[in-house]
A = this chain, B = another copy of it.
Amino acid sequence: MDRITLDTKARDRAARIGAAREALGARLTGKQVETDAIVDLLHAVLKPGDRVCLEGNNQKQADFLAKALVALDPARIHDLHMVQSVLALPEHLDVFERGIASQLDFSFSGPQGARLAKLLASGRVRIGAIHTYLELFSRYFVDLTPKVSLIAAHAADAQGNLYTGPNTEDTPAIVEATAFSGGLVIAQVNERVPDGTALPRVDVPADWVDFVVQAPTPNFIEPLFTRDPAQISEIQVLMAMMAIKGIYAEYGVQRLNHGIGFDTAAIELLLPTYGESLGLKGRICRHWALNPHPALIPAIEAGWVESIHSFGSELGMEDYIRARSDVFFTGPDGSLRSNRAFSQAAGHYACDLFIGSTLQMDLLGNSSTATLGRIAGFGGAPNMGADARGRRHASPAWLKAGEQARAHRSGAAATPRGRKLVVQMVETFREHMQPAFVEHLDAWELQRQAGMDLPPIMIYGDDVTHVLTEEGIANLLLCRDDEEREQAIRGVAGYTAVGLGRDRRAVERLRDRGVIRRPEDLGIDPRDATRNLLAARGMRDLVRASGGLYRPPKRFRNW
Contacts and interface: CB of A to CB of B under 8 A. Distances in A.
A349 interface: yes
A433 interface: no
Interface in A333-374: 337, 339, 341-343, 345-346, 348-351, 364-366
Given A386-B389, A412-B462, A460-B389, A287 B454 contact: no
A331 interface: yes
A366 B306 CA distance: 37
Contact of A176 (B3, B142, B337, B548): B337
Contacts of A177: 342
Contact of A129 (B142, B393, B454): B393
A463 interface: yes
Contacts of A251: none
A461 B418 CA distance: 14
A138 B202 contact: no
A132 interface: yes
Interface in A157-179: 161, 173, 176-177, 179
B460 A349 contact: no
Contact of A454 (B331, B418, B460): B418
Nearest to A142: B350
Given A142-B289, A327-B6, A460 B412 contact: yes
A239 interface: no
Contacts of A128: 393
A365 B134 CA distance: 29
Nearest to A105: B393
Contacts of A203: 205
A384 B179 CA distance: 25
Contacts of A306: 143
A411 B485 contact: yes
Interface stretch (A7-15, A49-57, A227-235): A7-15
Contacts of A225: none
A297 to B, nearest CB: 11
Interface stretch (A21-29, A59-67, A242-250, A318-326): A318-326
Nearest to A351: B142
A378 interface: yes
Contact of A139 (B208, B329, B349, B412): B349
A323 B138 contact: no
Contacts of A201: 205, 207
A548 B2 CA distance: 10
A18 to B, nearest CB: 15
Interface string A389-407: 1111110000100000000
Given A138-B350, A348-B390, A382-B389, 18 more contacts: A3-B323, A3-B547, A10-B326, A137-B342, A141-B329, A142-B309, A143-B307, A173-B342, A176-B339, A180-B337, A182-B330, A382-B390, A389-B463, A411-B462, A411-B482, A412-B460, A416-B454, A418-B454
9 contacts: A8-B326, A131-B393, A135-B390, A137-B342, A139-B393, A143-B254, A143-B255, A366-B412, A382-B391
Closest 8 pairs (CB-CB, A-B): A411-B482, A129-B393, A412-B461, A138-B349, A386-B389, A202-B205, A394-B453, A142-B350
